[in-house]
Amino acid sequence: MLIRYGYEMAIVCPTPTPIVCQLDVHPSRAPLVRRETPFTTVPDIEASAYVDAFGNVCRRFVAPAGRLLMSCHGVIEDDGKPDVIVPDAPETPVADLPDECLTYLLGSRYCETDKLSQIAWDLFGQTPTGWARVQAICDIVHAHLTFGYQHARDTRTAYEAYCERIGVCRDFAHLAVAFCRCMNIPARYANGYLGDIDVPPDPSPMDFNAWFEVFLGGRWYTFDARHNTPRVGRILVARGRDAADIPLLNSFGPHRLESFKVLTEELTVDALMADAD
Do 115 and 191 share a structural domain? yes
CATH at 220? 3.10.620.30
Do 152 and 38 share a structural domain? no
Question: 200: pLDDT confidence band, cut at 50, 70 and 90?
Answer: confident
Do 192 and 106 share a structural domain? yes
In a domain, 172, yes or no: yes
Q: What stretch of H or E contains 140?
A: helix 131-144
Mean pLDDT across the stretch 238-246? 98
Do 112 and 202 share a structural domain? yes
> Domain total for the chain?
2
In a domain, 242, yes or no: no
Predicted TM-score (pTM) of the model is: 0.94
Do 226 and 104 share a structural domain? yes
Counting residues of the chain whose pLDDT is more than 90, the rounded percentage is 90
Q: What is the pLDDT of residues 111-138, one digit of tens each?
A: 999 999 999 999 999 999 999 999 999 9
- pLDDT, residue 275, reads 62
Mean pLDDT across the stretch 208-237? 96
In a domain, 87, yes or no: no
In a domain, 175, yes or no: yes
Do 263 and 224 share a structural domain? no
In a domain, 57, yes or no: yes
In a domain, 51, yes or no: yes
Residue 30, domain extent: 2-79+248-276
Q: What is the pLDDT of residues 61-115, one digit of tens each?
A: 999 999 999 999 999 999 999 999 999 999 999 999 999 999 999 999 999 999 9
Separation CA 241–CA 127 (nearest Å): 25
Do 179 and 270 share a structural domain? no
pLDDT at 207 over 80: no
Helix (H, G, I), strand (E, B) or coil at 224: coil
Q: What is the mean pLDDT of the chain?
A: 95
Do 185 and 68 share a structural domain? no
55's torsion region: left (phi>0), alpha (psi -120 to 50) or beta? left
Query: Which candidate, 215, 237, 186, 214, places its Cα nearest to that of 23?
Result: 237
CATH at 63? 2.60.40.2250
- pLDDT, residue 145, reads 97
Radius of gyration of the chain (CA): 19
Q: What string of DSSP letters covers 225-272? A: TTT-S--B--EEEEEESSTTTS-SEEESS--EEEEEEEEEEEE-HHHH
Do 187 and 117 share a structural domain? yes
- pLDDT, residue 206, reads 61
In a domain, 84, yes or no: no
pLDDT at 276 over 90: no
Do 60 and 179 share a structural domain? no
Question: 271: pLDDT confidence band, cut at 50, 70 and 90?
Answer: low
Do 256 and 226 share a structural domain? no
Question: 205: pLDDT confidence band, cut at 50, 70 and 90?
Answer: low
Do 145 and 75 share a structural domain? no
